[in-house]
Structure 1
Amino acid sequence: MKEGTAFFTIRAMLPVVESFGFADEIRKRTSGAASPQLIFSGFATLDLNPFWVPTTGEELEDLAEKADRANVAKVMWMG
């Protein structure tokens, strides 16, 4: 809470893909009382291949239908 006011300041970091529609959702859920300020902080590369698919018998057995959901790079890239 900011001293001398009824305002709260919340700082958070979220992936860009998660920020789409965030401002509208905050305003909607607070009936316009909240005012988000989104500032780009930087980026990080993922050491993952978004085009990876399980090919070996072991990979297919371990991941089965979850392979697309388990590929974080693909989820972040495709949104």
Structure 2
Amino acid sequence: MPIISINPRNSSDLPQPDLNEIGVPLCPNDSSIPMVYDSITREKERTNKIKYICPRAKKTKFNRKTTYILSCDNPCTNSKL
């Protein structure tokens, strides 16, 4: 009988977001606010990942770099997105 051990690197303490009826993640603090599609991450020999950001985050260009400005009083994470 094969035994597959759980990889601790794949586990996370982050809360799993709820999804709306079309599969878009919802804000953990306010489940009436759906996240906004940002992009797809494509890495060599890895699965593609769809990135969603907070609808209160604005994507701006500053010195040829993309930065995000978050205008949220109660952010759900310490991330800039």
TM-score category by the smaller chain?
A: under 0.3
Q: Which structure would you say has the larger Rg?
A: 1
Higher helix share: 1
Please state which structure has a larger fraction of its residues in strand: 2
Higher relative contact order (CA 8 A, sep 6+): 1
Normalised to the residue count of structure 2, the TM-score between the two structures is: 0.19
